[in-house]
Structure 1
Amino acid sequence: MDVKAIVDVKPPTKTENQEVEGGLIPKVKGTGSVSNKDVFFRADKIDLKSLDVQLEKHLSRVWSRNIETQKPKEEWEIDLSKLDIRHVIANGAYGIVYRGAYDDQDVAVKLLDWGEDGIATTAETAALRASFRQEVAVWHKLDHPNVTKFVGASMGTSNLKIPSTNPSDGPNSLPSRACCVVVEYLPGGTLKQYLIRNRRKKLAFKVVIQLALDLSRGLSYLHSKKIVHRDVKTENMLLDIHRTLKIADFGVARVEAQNPRDMTGETGTLGYMAPEVLDGKPYNRRCDVYSFGICLWEIYCCDMPYPDLSFADVSSAVVRQNLRPEIPRCCPSTLSNIMRKCWDANAEKRPEMEEVVRMLEAIDTSKGGGMIPEDQSAGCFCFAPARGP
């Protein structure tokens, strides 16, 4: 047997493998000047399963990089060299949001990291990215004063440097499969934060209607483009310096399916989710109408719906007991009727958002009607005392 060198190796671990062009080989200690081509390995001593897993990860990374570099640049793709990411402003279920600048414009940057957690399969990750690419192409064309302006996105951010929470660690870099979305930065914060600040003194009726109209017009526009937001809540609405409301966070938005049965599953936030969504039944854009009704109550009352119930209790009661927030007696019937119509248990009975816009536009705010009359400092006598600080 003409053997130049036989090396008895233990099963390789991740730290004992090295990448070479075309694949992975075990790193062998103590071989002196023996070259790779002169070395034979005992197959019974090599963990081939481990090598297969590592080789698959390696090829997946190479494949992902190659795919991104080969595809022509989309019109919505941003130039990452012009993007300056500064600091974290929010953490959500679908990614981290940073404040930054793009081409001298203040922006918010949302980073989405799919497929690097070892849980999602390659096929699942590919499906997520394909869906993201399809929907970004739709968002790019949206143009409405009550929808956060979309600046651009990137499907490959491995070269993007993000600031570390610990300055001594230096900047972080993202895996090759990460994506980022860049939108205009709005300094007024979220609608939720604004309502909390006004929890005790409440809002003038004309402000309630202005915010409600902004939200309803934005949703009506999205629905006209066949987009269902699916997570309408006051935390996902932003305010600019003029208190104009803009819909944000399209993390779970999707183009409405032709077949309603293609849209199922619990997507959204408990307390705002429509009964059909909570119950796992097919749904359509009217799930946003339901969520709007809850937001309308929240804007009027500057309070939280169901503050004393657990998530499980809310879910069960909304579906089985028709639980809804209690409307104050001082709420004008023109507004309370809109709330009730929007959160009707039967989705088909809920109005379209364009109809909601018309109903809100018809409300007369000149005589007040809010929780606090404009000429008084006292709150609405018919509502329970304010909870919280």
Structure 2
Amino acid sequence: MGTLSSFSTGIRKLQLTRQQLEVTISTKDKTKLLSGLTCLMSEIGLNIREAHAFCTIDGYSLDVFVVDGWEHEGIEELRDRLVEEILSIEKQSNFKQELSSPMQYHVGSPLSDVWEIDFSLLKFKHKIASGSNGDLFKGVFRSQDVAIKVLRTECLNGDIQREFTQEVYILRKVRHKNVVQFIGACTRPPILCVVIEFMPGGSVYDFLHKQKGVFKLPALLRVAIDVSKGMTYLHQNNIIHRDIKAANLLMDENEVVKIADFGIARVQHQSGIMTAETGTYRWMAPEVIGHKPYSHKADVFSFGVVLWELLTGKLPYANMTPLQAAVSVVQQGLRPAIPRNTHPLLVELLEKCWQQEPSLRPEFSEITGILQCMTKKNFEDERATKRRNIGESYQGNG
């Protein structure tokens, strides 16, 4: 029946409000197998957080579940319960044929899964950027261009390893077209690295501040909608990013923008509030700067600053140090100056996102709707202008 491992140190660091376990079942591939196993998990009181199904060319199935809700002390009890329930199902005439082949079971840490990458399979091309704790490289993994974030060995203290573990845990959970795609990770010290899809367009920050690019209103709205959709998805999954800024927004070859860098992201507790200062001062919400309880609405404030960046191409509070800006945001209600010729709806949205009281800030789903309405109106206005210009040109020629 296979072996069962106990909790590892890593999973204890990932533990939130409940214990989480990985259940792996391998057998010959059968129809209705996944649905049958899903029902089985539910019946014994397990909540499925993730499910991955794999089939080999020689007809075998590997089903991996990350679950919580097991209230008993040992995972040996869970193994025994699974075996008992599967044997019970096999005795039922409807399902006996589907589960007739021997099964193997494994219950253990959800980090020990298909995302683990053999470091020797990574090929490094060149360094893209350097940070305080690690370096970002362009590389290749299995013929695919990837970005590889490698933590420096000399920086591997407890806090950095916890942030790394949290980032891997969150990236494994998310799948959205506006969130950078996770490929895998090397999670066994001394080499710790995260591998994500390579984004050839670079960051929005580099485009604005290094390439001196400018987003006209239609492009600005497209970028803002991409970010808003990605953030809607993250918040729906109780993930607070906590460091939304132009440098953490990456562009692919089609200029689709994706949210990246989950090093300090956290899963929001059920109470809906979090504490402790984190993020980057120029983009940080006042409640976070002031060490007050905060929720996902802190991301909305940061998004407002990003929207201002897209609008102006400037660094927020450029004439102040980060700390001076932070103090002014909290004590004086300082916000970046909005240019006079800004679209009125955009001004209104910025002011909503920047509200001092978090509850008055909109949800990202609402923000997406506002931006989409602006896109539609802008398109209609441009079309009307073109028609008017054609009409005037025709009358002039007449």
| TM-score normalised by length of structure 1 | 0.65
Cα distance in structure 1, aligned partners of 2:192 and 2:125 = 17
Instruction: Indicate the RMSD between aligned Cα atoms, in angstroms.
Output: 2.5
Residue type matched to 2:128 in 1?
I
Deviation at 1:85, TM superposition (A): 1.9
Cα distance in structure 1, aligned partners of 2:289 and 2:350 = 19
Please give the secondary structure, in 2, of the residue aligned with 1:326.
coil
Which of residues 196, 199, 203 in structure 2 aligns to 1:190? 203
- Structure 1 residues 187, 131: closer, same or farther in 2, change over 3 A? closer
Please give the secondary structure, in 2, of the residue aligned with 1:152.
strand
Match of 1:334 in 2: 345
Deviation at 1:249, TM superposition (A): 1.1
- Structure 1 residues 368, 278: closer, same or farther in 2, change over 3 A? farther
Which of residues 230, 233, 236 in structure 2 aligns to 1:221? 233
Deviation at 1:291, TM superposition (A): 0.4
Cα distance in structure 2, aligned partners of 1:318 and 1:278 = 9
Contact 1:84 / 1:101 at 8 angstroms: preserved in 2?
yes
Deviation at 1:189, TM superposition (A): 0.9
Match of 1:231 in 2: 243
Contact 1:202 / 1:302 at 8 angstroms: preserved in 2?
yes
Match of 1:281 in 2: 292
Deviation at 1:287, TM superposition (A): 0.8
1:51-97 C-alpha deviation (Å, 9 max, x unpaired): xxxxxxxxxxxxxxxxxxx9783222123232112321111234211
Matches within 5 A, 1:143-182: 143-156=175-188, 176-182=189-195
Matches within 5 A, 1:62-101: 73-101=112-140
- Structure 1 residues 310, 368: closer, same or farther in 2, change over 3 A? farther
Please give the secondary structure, in 1, of the residue aligned with 2:335.
coil
Cα distance in structure 1, aligned partners of 2:263 and 2:118 = 22
Cα distance in structure 2, aligned partners of 1:368 and 1:178 = 55
Cα distance in structure 2, aligned partners of 1:132 and 1:92 = 14
Contact 1:213 / 1:360 at 8 angstroms: preserved in 2?
yes
Residue type matched to 2:203 in 1?
T
| TM-score normalised by length of structure 2 | 0.64
Match of 1:241 in 2: 253
Cα distance in structure 2, aligned partners of 1:152 and 1:80 = 10
Contact 2:166 / 2:266 at 8 angstroms: preserved in 1?
no
Contact 1:146 / 1:215 at 8 angstroms: preserved in 2?
yes
Number of residue pairs aligned between Structure 1 and Structure 2: 274
- Structure 1 residues 106, 342: closer, same or farther in 2, change over 3 A? same
Contact 1:188 / 1:241 at 8 angstroms: preserved in 2?
yes
- Which stretch of the first structure deviates more once superposed, 252-261 or 318-327? 252-261
Residue type matched to 1:181 in 2?
V
Cα distance in structure 1, aligned partners of 2:209 and 2:163 = 35
Cα distance in structure 2, aligned partners of 1:203 and 1:108 = 26
Residue type matched to 1:350 in 2?
R
Deviation at 1:279, TM superposition (A): 0.6
- Structure 1 residues 93, 353: closer, same or farther in 2, change over 3 A? farther
Query: Which structure's residues are more often helix, by fraction?
Result: 2
Match of 2:33 in 1: none
Contact 2:167 / 2:264 at 8 angstroms: preserved in 1?
no
Match of 2:279 in 1: 268
Rg (Cα) greater in structure: 1
Contact 2:241 / 2:266 at 8 angstroms: preserved in 1?
yes
* Structure 1 unaligned blocks of 5 or more: 1-69, 157-175, 375-389
Which of residues 322, 346, 353 in structure 1 aligns to 2:357? 346
Please give the secondary structure, in 2, of the residue aligned with 1:365.
helix
Match of 1:303 in 2: 314
Contact 2:163 / 2:264 at 8 angstroms: preserved in 1?
no
Match of 1:319 in 2: 330
Cα distance in structure 2, aligned partners of 1:82 and 1:178 = 13
Match of 2:394 in 1: none
Cα distance in structure 1, aligned partners of 2:155 and 2:216 = 47
- Structure 1 residues 248, 90: closer, same or farther in 2, change over 3 A? same
Cα distance in structure 2, aligned partners of 1:92 and 1:256 = 26
Residue type matched to 1:77 in 2?
E
Match of 1:6 in 2: none
Residue type matched to 2:148 in 1?
V
Which of residues 112, 123, 128 in structure 1 aligns to 2:151? 112
Cα distance in structure 2, aligned partners of 1:88 and 1:129 = 22
Deviation at 1:131, TM superposition (A): 6.3
- Deviating beyond 4 angstroms after TM superposition, the runs of 4 or more aligned structure 1 residues are 127-132
Deviation at 1:282, TM superposition (A): 1.3
* Structure 2 unaligned blocks of 5 or more: 1-107, 387-398
- Structure 1 residues 132, 305: closer, same or farther in 2, change over 3 A? closer
Deviation at 1:305, TM superposition (A): 1.6
1:303-324 C-alpha deviation (Å, 9 max, x unpaired): 2221111222201110011000
Deviation at 1:192, TM superposition (A): 0.8
